Chain A
Amino acid sequence: MMNYIWSGMIVLAIIFAVCSGNTQAVSDAVFSSAEEAVTVTLKMLGMFCLWGGLMRVAQQAGLTDRFARLLSPLLDRLFPGIQNDSAAKSAVSMNITANLFGLGNAATPLGIEAMRRLKRHAPFQDTASNDMILFVVLNSACIRLIPTTVAMLRHDSGSHAPMEILPATLCVSFLSCAGAILLTKLFGRKHG
């Protein structure tokens, strides 16, 4: 799947570049992208270490298990594959919490920890299980309570009420998450 998407994107870009005479900009993008990937990874490296360390402390103190128990009724329904794995459940719930509070930098390393735990229950080691798919889809849809970055940008461009979009944002986020869960469950059932 990713093979088709990836090569499709690049071929499309090249065809378009030739048609519209943008070849110079596109070839510049080739080098700048590789550079940027390293810069971003280096930035992530620090974040990964920071949250990996903090989470280990929370784990050993039993804090993450408490969280998992709190979210357990919801998690058991969404991720039936990890019902009996409290470590996986706490990793998933930490990621969801970080997302809700808009701690995007923390959500990614916590999410990857959760993915590692979810993978242990996957029937095939190179194929995403239903639980993994739902987890990734939920992370790519947005489950944020307060859109701080958006409110900040609105404030900077002279909005009278930067937070007035909050009710609409919450409704849209909630409905698109519900739709995402429904679709993922439907597809998961069809293909086993």
Chain B
Amino acid sequence: MSEIGTFVLLFCIGGILIYGACKRVRVFDVFLEGAKENISCAVAVLPAFVGLLLAVQMLTASGVSDALTAALTPLLSKLGFPAEVLPLCILSPISGSGSLSAFQSLLTTYGADSFIGRTASVIAGSTETTFYTVTVYYGAVGIKKIRHTVLCALCADGISFLLSAVFVRLFFD
């Protein structure tokens, strides 16, 4: 599966360099210029990133996600959403590695081709780590007031979660 990704990657890099060389761009010199400019960019992200990871890792270690799962289970079962997937939903906006391990454990516990396994797969395939994106993107360009960004991003995540169960039922039942 990863072969498609590898192919796209190599094709992109090769394509850019060959096209550049054909247009008589001094490829390596220009590459170095662009690379140098982005160093400061990565460093600018670090403070925001330390802050974010602090909050995320404290939150995951505190076991708050277990408590939330227990609290929300009755409501979700009424909506036809499998409560077993909830830890994945709670983790997926805040922690990339956390949600990946939650996804993995759902696959091993319930099987990849079960209803729960498929729903979890669709969720994992259609969401990103929201807080990471918000922190890194705004942190890098020094924006402080982010207005309705988090609200809209979390709503989009919520839509993904609920629709995942709906579409898995639609396609596989």
Contacts and interface: CB of A to CB of B under 8 A. Distances in A.
Interface of A: 1-2, 5-6, 9-10, 12-14, 16-17, 20, 22, 25-26, 28-30, 32-34, 36-38, 40-41, 44-45, 48-63, 101-103, 106, 108-109, 111-113, 115-116, 119, 124-128, 132-133, 135-137, 139-142, 144, 146-155, 157-165, 167-169, 171-173, 175-177, 179-180, 183-184, 187-188, 191
Interface in B56-102: 56-64, 67, 93, 100
Interface string B146-173: 1111111101110110011001101110
B45 A141 contact: no
B126 A173 contact: yes
B149 A157 contact: no
B23 A62 contact: yes
Contacts of B8: 101-103
Contacts of B133: 136, 139-140
B159 A176 contact: yes
B125 A165 contact: yes
A63 B44 CA distance: 28
Given A30-B54, A133-B149, A176-B160, A168 B20 contact: no
B140 A112 contact: yes
Interface in B98-152: 100, 103-104, 107-108, 111-113, 117-118, 121-122, 124-130, 133-138, 140-152
Contact of B136 (A54, A108, A167): A108
Size category of the B interface is: 35 or more
A75 B152 CA distance: 19
Chain B interface, >50% SS class? helix
B121 A165 contact: yes
Contact of A28 (B31, B61, B117, B125): B61
Given A54-B34, A56-B31, A132-B143, A48 B41 contact: yes
B145 A163 contact: no
Contacts of B159: 175-176, 179-180
5 contacts: A38-B46, A45-B39, A128-B149, A137-B149, A140-B133
Given A127-B143, A161-B113, 4 more contacts: A52-B38, A52-B41, A57-B16, A175-B163
B4 A146 contact: yes
B126 A147 contact: yes
A119 B62 CA distance: 37
B62 A20 contact: yes
A154 to B, nearest CB: 4
A55 B104 CA distance: 35
Contacts of A17: 58, 61-63
Contacts of B1: 148, 151-152, 155, 162-163
B127 A141 contact: yes
B56 A33 contact: yes
